Structure 1
């Protein structure tokens, strides 16, 4: 039960980040969400769309892996190192190309629609955590496109690190918009 509680605490931290960002963005005019940081760069809506797609894909992948838990290995030292390395990279100023498995992020959805998608994704993630078989909580059930296989806890931690990485990107976009005189 201790591992499930740790996973739920990681999920709660991820949810707190979402709520904080939404509170900040709720104060903005809708037309600012579609302005890109620069030419051939993403807008806030595209960043949020990418994050939502990433979470949706993570849940879908884990649910698929749950069908064959007996064939999946357990969290080990290598997965811990990869998880820490990925966290370090996401915290760094290094920018990455989006994995080809993910759809191109959309600029078409309203902020309200994106918030609704996040609500649905997060509800599925919480349900997944609460219903995941206790004896398999330390199994490597998520495969990151670059960093390899992770446990459920490591997957939730990645989602938070990924979210934090893109909040920095949103802050850069807002600064670029402000510098162009489009923000308050």
Structure 2
């Protein structure tokens, strides 16, 4: 199972690198232009904030150890439906605890995000195999999920915001 999760993390990192490649030629002014809502940097900051908050929650949740509840078909179905919504270009409000992202210079943002990803990778590597079916993660829409579904949600959350970045770029004329 960890091999599957590690492949998903590789995909997530590759997709993130594509985002950075698509925006690296933009000026700091364009990256920080929030005239139509969030700026591109704020979108990236939001993605990092969501992953950081998720990791913090999972680190706290594993303290319950074997007492964590098991994941079932209903959990997976709910996450699948959530991921289908996330990969669409539909819009909705972010949860309040991550709805006011800060703006950073691009290189600082990239560095912060890579630190978060390294921490997630470390968490996955240390996560006991016997807990792979435990509900360690809580998605605002998808509910409680196992580690595999948590990583899926990171992938689909990023896809969702790639739509947003493309809309912003179009609005900026780039």
TM over 0.5: yes
Question: SS where residue 101 of structure 1 aligns?
Answer: helix
CA distance in 1, matches of 2:68, 2:28: 45
Q: Deviations over 1:126-168 (max 9, x none)?
A: 0011110111122110011222101101000000100010011
CA distance in 2, matches of 1:174, 1:37: 12
Do 1:55 and 1:159's aligned partners in 2 also have CA atoms closer than 8 Å?
Answer: yes
Q: Which runs of 4+ in 1 moved over 3 A?
A: none
Q: Residue 76 of structure 1: which of 72, 77, 93 is its match?
A: 72
Q: Tell me which residue corresponds to 1:92.
A: 88
Q: Tell me which residue corresponds to 1:33.
A: 31
TM-score of the two chains, using structure 2 as the length reference? 0.96
Q: Residue 63 of structure 1: which of 44, 59, 63 is its match?
A: 59
Q: Deviations over 1:91-124 (max 9, x none)?
A: 22321111122251113x1111110111100000
1:134–1:169 CA distance, 2 compared to 1 (3 A): same
TM-score of the two chains, using structure 1 as the length reference? 0.91
Aligned length: 174
11-20 vs 96-105, which moves further: 96-105
Q: Residue 142 of structure 2: which of 147, 153, 170 is its match?
A: 147
Do 1:44 and 1:173's aligned partners in 2 also have CA atoms closer than 8 Å?
Answer: yes
| Aligned alpha-carbon RMSD (Å) | 1.2
Gaps spanning 5+ residues in structure 2: where? none
